[in-house]
Structure 1
Amino acid sequence: MCLMAEQVPGFGVAVIREDGRWRCAAMDDAALRELDAAITELRRIRSTGAVFGLLAVDDEFFIVLRPSPGGVALLLSDAAAALDYDIAADTLDLLRVEPPDDVDDVWPEGSLDLLADLGLPAAEMQVIVDEMDLYPDEQLQMIAQRLGFADEFAKHLDTILQ
C-alpha cells in the first residue's frame, strides 16, 4: 500500500528537558520508518523531565510524539501523508482515525496540545501546523523556538544534515 518501505529521507530528534535545560539527540533512522521504533527509542531515554520526539519525514510532514506511562500522545501534521507513508498510516492507526480519501485534504490529526505543559498551547501549535508554505524542518524549528531550545535544535540539525 505505502510507497516508503525502505530508507526514508528526513530526520528524527529526541528532545529532553531535564533540570531546566534542553538537549537534543539524534534518533535512529528506523524511527522514520516505524512508529513503534520511534516510540521504543524515546521510552528508553531515562530522564526526570520531559521527553518527546520530532520527526521530519521526506520534506512532506512532521510527527511529534510524546510517550507517557499510559500510552503516547501524537500529532501528525498532515493526515493525507498516511496514503503514501507507513509511519503516517501507523500514526493514524494508533490514533484510531481513518485516512482521508484524497491527498488534497490536508489537516493535522492528533493532540495539538501535547506540548502545552511545556509552553506551546494548542492554538499556537495549530498556527505552526497551518504554515503550509514551510518545510517540516522549518515548522519544527518554530516549535523549538517557541519552547526555548532553538539553538540546541539548530546545532543538532547542522550535524545530522551534513
Structure 2
Amino acid sequence: MSLQEPVAGFAVAVVREDGKWRCDSMGADALRELDSAITELRKLRSTGAVFGMLAVDDEFFLLIRPSPAGMALLLSDAAAALDYDVAADALDLLRVDPPDEEDDELWPEGSLDILADLGLPAPELQVITAEVDLYPDQQLQMIAQRCGFAGEFNTLLDRIQQ
C-alpha cells in the first residue's frame, strides 16, 4: 500500500436511533477512499438512519447513505472528481462521467432526496449545494440544522478541530 498525502477535512458518521441523534468521527481513510467510508458506515448497525457526511479539503462535501437497495450518494460538486479520488469513486458508483477539465460550472451529482425522509427535501438540499460562497463544513452544518442534529454535529466538530 502506498503512502498517500493526507486529505484535509473531516468525515462524520451520523446515526439516528430511537429518536436520538449521534455523531461519530470516521477514519481519515474515508476522505481518500469511498470504499473505506462505505465499509465504516456499513459496520454501524442501527434500526434507524445511518449516513456519512464528508467535508473534503474545503472544496466539496459528500453524503453517503447505505441502504438494503444499495448506496445513495450526493456529491456537492461533480468537478471535484477531477482532483480527488473519493469524488471520482462517487461518480464511478453513480455511473456518471466526470466533467471536462474546461467545465468550471459547479453542480451536484447523485440523490438530492438522500435525506428527504429525515426532514431535508430535495429542493432545500439543492439550495444548500448551490451556496457557492459557503465552505463544505458550513453547508454540512446547514444540513445538520435542518435535520435536527446540529448540536451533536457541532459538538463533534469542536472536538475534531482542537
TM-score normalised per structure 1: 0.96
Aligned residues: 158
Alignment check: 8 A CA contact 1:8 1:58 kept: yes
- 1:70 deviation in Å? 1.9
Alignment-mate amino acid for residue 17 of structure 2: E
Alignment-mate amino acid for residue 52 of structure 2: G
Listed one character per residue, the Cα deviations across residues 36-89 of structure 1 (whole Å, up to 9, x for unaligned) are: 000000000011100000000000000000001121000000000000000000
User: Which structure 2 residue ranges, 5 or more long, are not aligned?
Assistant: none
Listed one character per residue, the Cα deviations across residues 4-49 of structure 1 (whole Å, up to 9, x for unaligned) are: x531000000000000010100000000000000000000001110
Partner of 2:7: 8
Alignment-mate amino acid for residue 16 of structure 1: V
- 1:138 deviation in Å? 0.1
Alignment check: 8 A CA contact 1:83 1:103 kept: no
- 1:106 deviation in Å? 1.0
Residue 70 of structure 1 pairs with residue 74 of structure 2: no
Residue 138 of structure 1 pairs with residue 121 of structure 2: no
Alignment check: 8 A CA contact 1:33 1:86 kept: yes
User: Which structure 1 residue ranges, 5 or more long, are not aligned?
Assistant: none
Alignment-mate amino acid for residue 141 of structure 2: Q
Could you tell me how far apart the structure 1 residues matched to 2:12 and 2:94 are? 21
Report the 3-state secondary structure (helix = DSSP H, G, I; strand = E; otherwise coil) of the residue aligned with 1:89: helix
- 1:103 deviation in Å? 4.8
- Give runs of ≥4 in structure 1 deviating > 2 Å: none
Partner of 2:85: 86
Alignment-mate amino acid for residue 58 of structure 1: D
Distance 1:103 1:57, change over 3 A: farther
Alignment check: 8 A CA contact 1:81 1:103 kept: no
Where do 1:49-64 residues align within 5 Å? 49-64=48-63
Alignment-mate amino acid for residue 73 of structure 1: A
Could you tell me how far apart the structure 1 residues matched to 2:30 and 2:5 are? 12
Partner of 1:39: 38
Deviates more, 1:102-111 or 1:57-66: 102-111
What CA RMSD, in Å, does the superposition of the two structures yield over aligned residues?
A: 0.8
TM-score normalised per structure 2: 0.96
Report the 3-state secondary structure (helix = DSSP H, G, I; strand = E; otherwise coil) of the residue aligned with 1:65: strand
Alignment-mate amino acid for residue 96 of structure 2: V
